[in-house]
A and B are shown apart, each in its own frame.
Chain A
């Protein structure tokens, strides 16, 4: 989300109602001529068309496919109703995948937000040094997951990768692990790499939001005797609610969509320990079970929709998400 919308205390990003409410009402009930007419539909046509072909249709087709099924022996798809969803609710890999994505969200979103916030606060202001640090910290955001995957696979290599070699060199060899191959560690490690990649983004959003803060309010708080930490927590943080909200929504959606990083690092292994719904979908698709893959896709989409709607409602009510 952009700071354009994030920094506005009143105008949340994509909610029609609030936006319309905020705009001044016209005295007369009628829209002027230049607002009406066919120009509007014409201008949205290209976007709508591309969307319809490449997103709307596939989503609908996906839902339809989720009601079909096949077997290993006979690849023809037949109507089987909700059986695929039943499979999703009972299959070990599927349950693990959804549990993992929740864990992944819990491990990455709060950490990225808090770290991003602190970094943005700490690096606030002018100065070559600060600007340089901000630039560097944002750099991982622009990297392609394939490169990050190769890089970290090499770094975390169990037998002679730098991380383990480093630990051994300082006598902490006992801490050297099979970072990506240990079922207990695979998911947290990928989460850590994700944090490394995306904290810069949170930082940038908060930074932009901070620049719009009213200095006077902050000075007043300082005059009132509020300490640094108190000011941060009680004054600044609440003023950045739009930014928090944007990051939360983006974070959840982003987590549900995570594919590249997991695929490149572990492909969902070992033994489904780092499986997430999208990688499971992919694997199921490769196994030829289209109906099941489509069901997973539908559920992921539904989850994203529901969570977004819930978060929106919370936000509009004025309570904390």
Chain B
């Protein structure tokens, strides 16, 4: 779709070569004027309240600009974003997940390198941690700015609940099975798992696969290896056994994380919870429920072995619309959220992890949250297997579907692997 060249707006005092036909190239002149005009922001995150706080801080510093934010649940957001972008009605600033989503929307994104250089000089990369920045890139080009690093593939543990039933946190899978049995007798759910959410299923599959053979996994993710690698097939089997050995709650296949299993855990009805580090925000949203418990996190024990699974990590990526008429301002908002004062506001609300070297730590972190957060920091430092999002959209879909099929129909691990593999081959 071509942009109407005549419609490109002029930014205060600057000339921008906006995307007439081929989109922004490296010969652009970037405006560093303070942001002005109207900016549209769309995303599934953060909450309206938090975003309003970011906006008011941003507009206080930059009174000439007006920001209009639209926040929707993730799937609805993706839907709306797709049609809007495709007909040139997309927002100026939006957020994507790395991997599949970033690849899918790359054609609509204005790379940030030129802008960063204009604002922060040639050494702008130094202020970021390497991994988040890589996730915000496709190939060598940095497309967006990372916001809020998070990890997944581990378990939340309610130690209070375990102690009440005379149990301790399991160190191996067999122990987990035993603990789950005892919990069941006491009417407590073991792992609250929202298996209806395919993104959850993928997260924990990745953890298990990385435990068994991380190289094979990441080769397959990069399209260089096969999903039918024996270790990966074994991982499908391990995933399946989670749901057969009673370590996961009844009806997990139909439970959604928000809010079915989230409720189970925060209300003290389940001893473990399958969710990522972003779940720290339960200390904001449900503090009165969870502060009475001694909560920590632990790695997922791997079925059929004595080991525990590593974690995978990712950020969200704030990007500028290639066809925006206000790109410089849009960039400045993105920058504000990623490495500016906005990052602090976001971290305070989400309680997540920094993407910059001197990144913000959440202020006013509730005491009850500190233990879990510290353990997560440890995990990030020591047990990070790699990135979290599957790069190919169709493989991601096939993987999610296969994982659901493994636990709700008679799909076998071999067939599951074959399905994902054929999706991968077709995507080439």
Given contacts A182-B253, A287-B393, A287-B397, contact A157 B404 (CB under 8 A): no
For window 238-253 of chain B, which residues contact chain A by CB distance below 8 Å?
A: 249-251, 253
Interface of A: prevailing SS: loop
Question: Which residues between 18 and 56 of chain A lie within 8 Å of chain B, taking CB atoms?
Answer: none
* Interface flag for A200 (CB, 8 Å): no
Q: A158-B254, A159-B255, A178-B254 are in contact. Are A286 and B79 (CB under 8 A)?
A: yes
CB contacts (< 8 Å) of B196 on chain A: these are 181, 269-270
By the criterion CB–CB under 8 Å, are B253 and A178 in contact? yes
The range of chain B's interface size is: 20 to 34
Q: Tell me the complex Cα distance, A272–B264, Å.
A: 27
CA distance A159 to B250 in the complex (A): 7
Q: A159 contacts B251, CB within 8 Å?
A: yes
Q: A159-B250, A182-B254, A287-B393 are in contact. Are A271 and B405 (CB under 8 A)?
A: yes
Interface residues of A in 177-207 (CB under 8 A from B): 178-184
From B79, B250, B393, B409, A271 is in contact (CB under 8 Å) with B409
**Interface residues in A, total, Cβ within 8 A:** 27
Question: Which residue of B has the minimal Cβ distance to A268?
Answer: B401
Cβ contact within 8 Å between B405 and A178: no
CA distance A80 to B235 in the complex (A): 38
Whether A222 sits at the interface, judged by CB under 8 Å, is: no
Given A72-B392, A183-B408: A270 touches B253 (CB 8 Å cut-off): yes
Quick one: CB contact mask for A241-269 with B, threshold 8 Å, 1 for yes?
00000000000000000000000000101
Q: Are A158 and B251 in contact (CB under 8 A)?
A: yes
Give per-residue flags for B33-49: 1 if the beta carbon is below 8 A from chain A beta carbons, else 0.
00000000000000000
Answer yes or no: B104 CB below 8 A from chain A CBs: yes
Tell whether, in the assembled complex, residue A159 and residue B260 are in contact, meaning their CB atoms are under 8 Å apart: yes
Cβ of B84 under 8 Å from chain A:
no
- Sample of 29 A–B contacts (CB below 8 Å): A71-B427, A72-B394, A72-B427, A75-B107, A157-B254, A157-B260, A158-B251, A158-B254, A158-B255, A159-B260, A179-B254, A180-B254, A181-B255, A181-B408, A182-B254, A267-B75, A269-B198, A269-B404, A270-B253, A271-B404, A271-B405, A271-B409, A272-B401, A282-B79, A286-B79, A286-B82, A287-B394, A287-B397, A288-B393
Q: A159-B264, A270-B408 are in contact. List 11 more A-B contacts (CB 8 A).
A: A72-B394, A75-B107, A159-B260, A178-B251, A181-B254, A181-B255, A183-B408, A271-B405, A271-B409, A273-B409, A287-B393
**9 cross-chain pairs, A with B, having the tightest CB-CB distances, nearest first:** A181-B254, A158-B251, A178-B254, A271-B405, A158-B254, A271-B401, A271-B404, A270-B404, A181-B253
